[in-house]
Structure 1
């Protein structure tokens, strides 16, 4: 293979058979169960990286069922998103979510999520099931239960406007790629948006969540101090590609 061929074909690893295709990445019938809970504000401040600023003391714990997505297939994902503010160089302030942790059960979106955007993804076993009048969500890391969440099934319809407004906000994460000597080669704050969103329905109901300690699945680092709200909604959307908004390796 010639040097020019390497440059031409290099998209993702492995060079000759990448783990995922190029985007856009479209999702159909993407189901969200989002439980917002209060936590320890001191821990939130310790975990949210500058230049982001945490908003309050809440965490959004998300379970997402993705039965049909371009390139990534059929999988389930879960994780914690912390409400934050970001102030750009021009002084513009945005509210959005900092993606603190993610766990899912499919190799392609783990590899693609980490390599393209910097999603903090790990392999685990999240599950969403509809059990009579209850939505039951669990996260196992190996055989160990790390999260148990339940929600009443479609008790009340929600106004779509706040859900769509939330989906229009940016999300942020830290993309880290190590050098071959284990020093950081890339360390960036990345922003992305969901696009072409179609909301097919949104509901709320009573909800509960428990988080359990695990050495390698640290969801309990942000302990629950009480559920604030819960939502269950169904969408079609496109996962927008990212942009770098801060480079931690550049000299200030």
Structure 2
């Protein structure tokens, strides 16, 4: 194989049989179950990286069922996102969220999510199911239960146009790729959006969340002080590709967009 051929065909690892296809990545009937809760603000400050700013003292704990996604298949994901604020070099203030932790059960979106965007994905066993009148989410890391969430099933229907505006906000994450000597080669703040969103339904209801300590699955690092809300919604969408908004390894360490 010639050098020019490597350059032309290289997209993702492995070279001759990539773990995931090229984008775009479309999701159909993506089901979200989100518990928003209050936590320790000092812990939030310790976890959220500059130049992002923490907004308030809340965390969104999410379970997401993805039964039909192009390239990534059928899988379930769970994790924590933190409300933040980002100020661009032009002075625009953006409200969004920082993706702190993600656990899922499918190799392709784990590798693709980490390599393309920098999603903090780890292999685990999340589950989202309907049990009679209750929506139930659980997370096991190996054999150990790390999270349990419950919500009354479709108690109140939400206004879709108002709720959909929440889905327009960006999300941020840290993309880290090491050099062959173990030093950081890429360390960037990445921003992405959900695109072409078709919201099919949204509901709220009573909710509860329990998080349990685990050495390798640290969801309990942001403990539950009070549940604020529980929402459940279903949508079709395209996962937009990311853009670098800050390079931590740049000599001047200034935002790039």
- With the length of structure 1 as denominator, give the TM-score of the two structures: 0.99
| Aligned equivalent of 2:106 | 106
- Separation (CA, whole Å) in 1 of partners of 2:90 and 2:27: 33
- 1:31 is aligned to 31
Any idea what the Cα deviations from partners look like across 1:22-55, whole Å, max 9, x if unmatched? 0100000000001000000000011000000010
Pair 1:158-2:122 in alignment: no
Unaligned runs of 5+ in 1: none
Pairing 1:218–2:218 present = yes
Partner of 1:89 in structure 2? Answer: 89
Alignment of 1:161-200 (within 5 A): 161-200=161-200
Distance 2:95 2:160 in 1: 19
Alignment of 1:1-252 (within 5 A): 1-252=1-252
Distance 1:162 1:210 in 2: 29
Whole-angstrom CA distance in 2 between matches of 1:249 and 1:209: 38
User: How far does residue 163 in structure 1 lie from its aligned partner after superposition?
Assistant: 2.4
Secondary structure of the 2:208 match is strand
Residue 225 of structure 2 aligns to a residue in which SS? Answer: coil
Return the offset for 1:161.
2.8
How far apart, in 1, do the equivalents of 2:103 and 2:216 lie?
Answer: 11
For residues 117-169 of structure 1, the C-alpha deviation after alignment (integer angstroms, 9 at most, x for no partner) is 00000000000110000011000000000000000000010111332111100
TM superposition outliers: structure 1 runs of 4+ over 4 Å: none
Q: CA separation in 2, counterparts of 1:186 and 1:163?
A: 36
Distance 1:144 1:28 in 2: 31
Residue aligned with 1:109, SS: helix
CA RMSD for the aligned pairs?
0.5
Structure 2: segments with no counterpart, 5+ residues: 253-257
Q: TM-score scaled to structure 2, two decimals?
A: 0.97
Question: How many residues of Structure 1 are paired with residues of Structure 2 in the alignment?
Answer: 252
